[in-house]
Amino acid sequence: RRVSASVLLIALSLHRGAPMLPPAAAQREDNYPPPGNLKMAKPLHDACVEKTGVIEAAIKEFSEGEIHEDENLKCYMNCFFHEIEVVDDKGDVHLEKLFATVPLPMRDNLIEMSKGCVHPEGDTLCH
């Protein structure tokens, strides 16, 4: 199965896999994401911020559950998934590769949320 990087980044960024909840309900625990994960992702984050021009405030709002339209943010998501090598050249996320990169406590939520996902079509790889 393939699903868009945007959908999966939403899934990974929200507390306990609840992207359909309003922003107030999407609050995370204070220690999430774990500092080690943030440290590991920082070089990828920095590279994608530079490549896409996304502003940190947009990433922070999204991470806190405030889903909004932002072309640079979508391109950042696409870049990040390319950097961790879970997408192909068409921008399709390969779930089996992604599942292998997700910590076990999050994996079941991600697997459940990805059921029924279809390949979305957009004008660019950022969609």
Is residue 1 a contact partner of residue 95, using CB atoms and an 8 Å limit? yes
Give the CA dihedral 52, 66, 41, 15, nearest 10 degrees: -160
Look up the pTM and report it: 0.66
Predicted local distance difference test score (pLDDT) of residue 12: 54
Rounded CA-CA distance 126/32 in Å is 26
Predicted local distance difference test score (pLDDT) of residue 9: 56
User: Within the chain, which residues score under 70 in pLDDT?
Assistant: 1-29, 32, 115-122, 125, 127
Domains in the chain, please, with CATH? 2-30+45-114 (1.10.238.20)
